[in-house]
Structure 1
């Protein structure tokens, strides 16, 4: 199979999949190395396909016409991460990313794509298992999340709850 056909297959796999696809699995299925997949993904991105790399694998970014996206500024302690994420998910929000402003590097963004309570638990388990520091450690708890919701009511509920918990800096 040539590279053009392989990239078409990768694109088709990503569009058809309901779950993120790991680069290692794509490489194995297509009989190439993971590095070839990384290169193919870069070429597909350059062609205009909105592919996002998440901790769970690659996904196609779907711009839903009726959805609402909002960036929220938040501040809380590391031990409150799970509660913050669950608050957003509880009202139907999808947490696309976490963003911090670093003095040296500028904006640092980590793709999350947390959609369910199961995703929240997996994220929290990884933080604990890898003994990793979340990005908010670098900024005294201040960070941004891009969230997507299906309705203004859902967004209003998320904002109200985050305000009540004193996590929201501004809205």
Structure 2
């Protein structure tokens, strides 16, 4: 049995960048660590270094993603103000993804820190379920708990109508702040 060789420094970061750029789905830090034969913490440091060099890498609840140029797609974005209780999060997120939109992020306005934004990049029920499982596994709080349920989502869709339909459904459920 041969031992896998560790990738070092710049070569490792080059491999990470290439892996993220060629992937259409998020990749966990643990998966990247296995590929490079290093610890997940080394990957976290490498990702920070790549971000410092202006590489458009984001951390989502599913793993790291390289943001491809938005101009290459015909996607439209809309920011919506939402309100609900934590136990309604699954219903809210599933409602959005069931309308074919991606929930790009969630933002709350904190009185001390200002805007706090978390990347979500949820586009189907499986990803919503994985996100909710992670919240439960780590006994994490939803950002909306900091603001008594008020939060913003950036949603992404392929047409204005798709975004409008999703927003109308959210409004019908009482999830839109007016």
TM-score, normalised by the number of residues in structure 2: 0.86
**1:27 Cα offset (Å):** 1.9
Q: What residue in structure 2 maps to residue 107 of structure 1? A: 115
Does the residue aligned with 2:38 lie in a helix, a strand or coil?
coil
Deviation at 1:43, TM superposition (A): 2.1
- Matches of 1:127 and 1:30, distance apart in 2: 27
> Residue by residue, what CA displacement relative to the aligned partner does 1:44-82 show, whole Å, maximum 9, x if unpaired?
222222101112211112343311112111011222111
Cα deviation, residue 167, structure 1? 0.9
Counterpart in the other structure of 1:12: 18
Deviation at 1:13, TM superposition (A): 0.6
Q: Distance in 2 between matches of 1:38 and 1:79?
A: 31
Instruction: Between 62-71 and 88-97, report the one with greater CA deviation.
Output: 62-71
Match of 2:93 in 1: 85
Instruction: Pick one of 80, 99, 103 that aligns with 1:95.
Output: 103
Q: Distance in 1 between matches of 2:144 and 2:137?
A: 18
Going from structure 1 to structure 2, the CA distance change for 1:129 and 1:32 (only over 3 Å counts) comes to closer
After TM superposition, give the deviation of residue 2 of structure 1 in Å.
Answer: 4.5
Does structure 1 residue 64 correspond to structure 2 residue 70?
yes
2:39 is matched with 33
Out of 23-32 and 72-81, give the one that drifted further: 23-32
Q: Which runs of 5+ in 1 are unaligned?
A: none
- For the aligned residues, what is the CA RMSD? 1.8
Alignment deviations for residues 16-48 of structure 1 (CA, whole Å, 9 cap, x no partner): 223211222212221223333222212222222
Q: Which runs of 5+ in 2 are unaligned?
A: 1-6
SS of the residue 1:148 aligns to: strand
Check conservation: 2:78, 2:156, Cα contact below 8 A: yes
Assess, with a 3 A threshold, how the Cα gap between structure 1 residues 128 and 48 changes in structure 2: closer, same or farther: closer
Q: Normalising by structure 1, report the TM-score.
A: 0.89
| Residue correspondences, number | 170
